[in-house]
Structure 1
Amino acid sequence: MRILNLSFPDNSEIKYKISKFPDGQQDIVIDKDSIPTTLEGRPVPICITSRFNSFLDLELIICTTKALRRLSVLEIHLYIPYLLGARSDRHFQEGGNSYLVDVIAPIINAQSFRTVMVMDVHSDVAPACIHRLTSISNKKLLDFFWKENPNNGWGSYVFISPDGGALKKIYKLADSLGFKGDIVTCSKSRNEQGELSRVLVPLNTREHSDKEFVIIDDICDGGRTFINIADNIKRNGYTKNKIHLVVTHGVFSRGFMELLKYFDVIYSTNSYSDAELGEAHEYYERIKQLNIF
């Protein structure tokens, strides 16, 4: 199998050129000579990789797939660690749609990929509506966290699940890591507008007084939920305990400065984008990114 990397052309084994027209259209021309063939003379399988953090990325994925088909490539895989629209996995209100189910999934399915690989998929809806989708565990990110903290054993930590929806994944993750410590699930309340109004973190003062807390989830957008969780921990007397935020996909739409008031270290991958530190550049040692591209 060979890689066609749409996010980092210099790292792509299959060479190509992208054209952009004044009206917004994108197109791709693939170098046929960069595609190896099997002993039988057929093109080898190709894996398209993309960050897929905008609809323009989906357009380019489609253009690439069609171009490969015209070059007689039969086996095409798709590697999109971040899945655009994964959070919009249900119909939220009358007159709207489920962006994942109604928009994204049908387009991806129409390409007939051999496999679709996503990292730490948001919910069970994506595997149910996207054909041959495989969710890659975020274990690699927790291994990265472990390597960054070599002096502590897993017994030094408490894993925190932001809600019940993430709990099942965290238990599987803990089992794969050999983590035997406590896993705490938060409870959240929302007001009539759907805004988060209250977070409860059921910690035990006697058992957790000397622990470090690791909040684990798939996506951090602005980070308000995680800030509320960390604030609740501190308000309950854990002012000297370290709090870590470990999120697979870091959107960080509000930057890092507010998050760094509550978290000692933030861990993420570059699935969505490379971390833009901005005014947080002087705190770069507290923002750790695992490169998966």
Structure 2
Amino acid sequence: MKTLNLISPLSSEILFQIFTFPDGQPHIKLDLNTVHEVKSCCILARISNMNDLFLVLAAKNALDTAEVEEVELYISYLMAARMDRVMTSGEPFSLKIVADILNLGNFKRIKIFDPHSDVATALVNRSVAIDNAILVRMAIDDFTEKYSTNNNYCLVSPDSGALKKVYNVAQQLGVHDVAECIKHRDVSTGQLSGFKTFEENFEQKTCFIVDDICDGGGTFAGIAALLKSRNAGNVVLVVSHGIFSRGLTIAGIDHIYTTDSYQSFGEVPPNFKSYEVGTMLRP
């Protein structure tokens, strides 16, 4: 199976050109020499805006025209995944809109890297979720090798919504120590009003906060302060999708591990590490 890599075009086995028409319409043109006699293909893409979504469907249509029989789609980042229900009256069900468009592509299979909830795979036809267990394992291994003299650590769920996913990752990795945090948020304003945890004393354990997405980082700053008030050691953030709209440092977070699912990073702080998401999506 050949790959059409929309995230890293220089790594793509199927060559292509992307350009934009004067009216703003994105366009893709395949190099037919690299598609000749290809029967199966996977498109590797991040869908962070509507142009990305259009290009994915355009690429699928071009592959169909080139008579590629089976096309799979591997999504590193799925826009609107957090809008998995109608949050407040008068707002759209954005994830359903995105899913309905993706379903027009009639892909053989779709892999989605760590979507926010099971709603994504329920709405997107023939889709499966790829969790972030590989990322968490690499983060734990890297951190313990570089900074820790023992294996005294735990995984931390930042809120009740993430708890099931964190327990699933812990089970895969054989980690028995999981701590739960609770946050209070006003859904109409997005404002956070407080954090709680059931743990009284972390006994200087390294705390790996595991979540799917980091936007501004306010949640993790609040949780880091809570954990350290309960005698946590290093607080490490492991997050699948790094938006980092307020920068690559977060108050109270000692180290950050993420992927290039949403964006590629240039110069980063010494306590920040990003992994290539393609290695987690491919078979």
Whether the 8 Å CA contact 1:162–1:216 is kept in 2: the answer is yes
Partner Cα separation in structure 2 for residue 56 and residue 267 of structure 1: 28
Query: What's the CA shift for 1:16?
Result: 1.2
Whether the 8 Å CA contact 2:39–2:70 is kept in 1: the answer is yes
TM-score when scaled to structure 2? 0.92
Partner Cα separation in structure 1 for residue 66 and residue 231 of structure 2: 63
Deviation string 1:178-225 (CA, Å, 9 cap, x unpaired) is 112x211112223574521010122232xx213111110000001111
Whether the 8 Å CA contact 2:211–2:240 is kept in 1: the answer is yes
Specify the alignment match of 1:80 in structure 2. 75
RMSD, aligned α-carbons? 1.8
Unaligned runs of 5+ in 1: 38-42
Partner Cα separation in structure 1 for residue 30 and residue 4 of structure 2: 9
- Note closer, same or farther for the CA distance 1:153–1:164 as it changes in structure 2 (3 Å cut): farther
Partner Cα separation in structure 2 for residue 150 and residue 193 of structure 1: 39
Give 1:76's aligned amino acid. V
Query: What's the CA shift for 1:276?
Result: 4.9
- Within a 5 Å distance, the mapping from 1:171-182 to structure 2 comes to 171-180=167-176, 182=177
Alignment match of 1:289 (pick from 246, 256, 274): 274
Unaligned runs of 5+ in 2: 279-283
Specify the alignment match of 2:281 in structure 1. none
Whether the 8 Å CA contact 2:113–2:132 is kept in 1: the answer is yes
Aligned pair 1:157/2:147, yes or no? no
- Within a 5 Å distance, the mapping from 1:244-263 to structure 2 comes to 244-257=236-249, 259=250, 261-263=251-253
Whether the 8 Å CA contact 2:220–2:253 is kept in 1: the answer is no
- Note closer, same or farther for the CA distance 1:114–1:236 as it changes in structure 2 (3 Å cut): same
Alignment match of 2:128 (pick from 105, 128, 134): 134
Aligned pair 1:106/2:100, yes or no? yes
Stretch of structure 1 that moved more, 227-236 or 150-159? 150-159
SS in structure 1 of the partner of residue 80 of structure 2: coil
Deviation string 1:143-182 (CA, Å, 9 cap, x unpaired) is 21133134459841121101111111111111111112x2
Work out the percentage of aligned pairs sharing the same amino acid: 37
Specify the alignment match of 1:40 in structure 2. none
Partner Cα separation in structure 1 for residue 219 and residue 140 of structure 2: 24
Whether the 8 Å CA contact 1:144–1:290 is kept in 2: the answer is no
SS in structure 2 of the partner of residue 117 of structure 1: strand
Paired residues in the alignment total 275
Alignment match of 1:198 (pick from 190, 194, 206): 194
Partner Cα separation in structure 1 for residue 93 and residue 166 of structure 2: 26
Deviation string 1:48-103 (CA, Å, 9 cap, x unpaired) is 111211111111111111111111112111011111110011012222211001x1
Which one has a bigger Cα radius of gyration? 1
SS in structure 1 of the partner of residue 78 of structure 2: coil
Specify the alignment match of 1:229 in structure 2. 223
Deviation string 1:98-137 (CA, Å, 9 cap, x unpaired) is 1001x10110001100111111111010011100111112
Whether the 8 Å CA contact 2:43–2:72 is kept in 1: the answer is yes
Query: What's the CA shift for 1:266?
Result: 0.3
Deviation string 1:219-242 (CA, Å, 9 cap, x unpaired) is 00011111111111223444xx11
SS in structure 2 of the partner of residue 67 of structure 1: helix
- Note closer, same or farther for the CA distance 1:33–1:94 as it changes in structure 2 (3 Å cut): same
Specify the alignment match of 2:261 in structure 1. 271
Give 1:251's aligned amino acid. I
> Where is the strand percentage greater, Structure 1 or Structure 2?
2
